[in-house]
Amino acid sequence: MYRRRRRKRTATPLLAGLLTLATVSSAALAVPPVSLPRAAVVAGSFFSAPEAAAAAVRQAVDDALGMPPGEESVPADTQANDLTETPPETAPRPEPEGQAVLDAAPSSAPESAAPDSAPEQASESSPPEEMPEGMAPLLETHYGQGSGPGYVQSGAATVRNCTELPDSDVAAEMMQPLPFSVEVGGDAPQVLIMHTHTTETYELAERGWCDPAFSARSTDLTVNMAAVGAELTAQLNAAGICTLHDTTLHDYPSYNGSYAKSNATVRAYLERYPSIKVVIDVHRDAIQRDDGTRIKPVAMIGGMKSAQVMIICGADVDGNLPNFRQNLRFASRWQDKMESLYPGLTRPVLFDYRYYNQDLTTGSLLIEVGGHANTLEEAKYAGRMAGEALAALLAGDAAA
């Protein structure tokens, strides 16, 4: 659950270091043993997300030939600052062959707040008049961009400033250039896509109600966050930005310590591939009311229904994020690019006192792609568009 008030870190640097050392050896095993040449990276995208990779390559060819894009191709859960603190949540179990999702007790703590408590404007659809007994309502909600004090304009989008920094200071920082540049067309990895909570998943069918016993977690990489990460990865690789995708289950078999495990994984990648400039931790939100109603943030884009995307950018607390200003520049630029290309895709950036391992690079961000009430297809569609926007931003900045 993301919190709306300032949190102080209670985990000391020593504790965080011990947790990292305890997991680095196992996490390092997930790192590819050798640098990936361009052909291998693109080929890998076809295995992890064949439809997305094919569409991305078709788009790249069309762009090279000057052809218009095809109409088909475009389509929080979060943790406290403390690395050791996690919500009491049911851990996923490996499913038997053919079973895609986990049937478990519902989470005892929803990750995000109900939409009527969020300050950004939201419009909701009506719940279905009839639904099976024992099921819970599912409401579609579109979150608009915020305005007024606490919201800072970021081109076509906004940043929700939940820090003690004046809005004017936030706006001034967002106008600064990106602190990094990426290489386009090379073999050295530039971007790492990964997942601290890999087992997070979505509804697998479109309907107006949900099963309150559905835990929205799965170890199946074809239906959990790895499937969404594969969409981003395919778009970046097709644009010539060498991108690696780590699918380690950092939250399985134990949810506790997920961020310490993913911290070790990211550090191992950065040590092996110092060329990496950007690290994106891909999650999904979980917005639920006290009565069990689950909320799905959606937008209609290109005639298709998409999950909405929210970037979370941490601010420094007692020196834990010395590079937070550089991350904020990146968050605002990516947000603006997504909303410019695909109006309605994004919720305002959440700029708050968080951690999420965002000290590891000057391009480290967490994104929430939809919520546990969205369908997998809506989330993959959103991931595809977020990847296209990120590729356009990074490639354009490199060419400038």
DSSP per-residue letters across 211-242: -TTB--B-S-TTTBHHHHHHHHHHHHHHTT--
In CATH, the architecture of 13-91+102-399 is: 3-Layer(aba) Sandwich (3.40)
Helices and strands counted in the chain (H then E): 8, 14
pLDDT of residue 131: 86
Residue type, 91: A
d(CA 322, CA 301): 37
- In terms of C-beta density within 10 A (0-12 exposed, 13-18 middle, 19 or more buried), how is residue 185 classed? exposed
pLDDT at 398: 59
- At residue 223, the pLDDT reads 97
> pLDDT value at position 125?
60
pTM of structure: 0.74
* pLDDT given for residue 396 in this prediction: 86
pLDDT of residue 130: 81
Can you tell me which residue has the tokens 């950065």?
270
Cα–Cα distance for residue pair 265/238, rounded to 1 Å: 25
Residues of the chain with pLDDT under 70: 1-129, 397-400
* Predicted pLDDT of residue 84: 25
Pairwise CA distance, residues 136 & 359, whole Å: 39
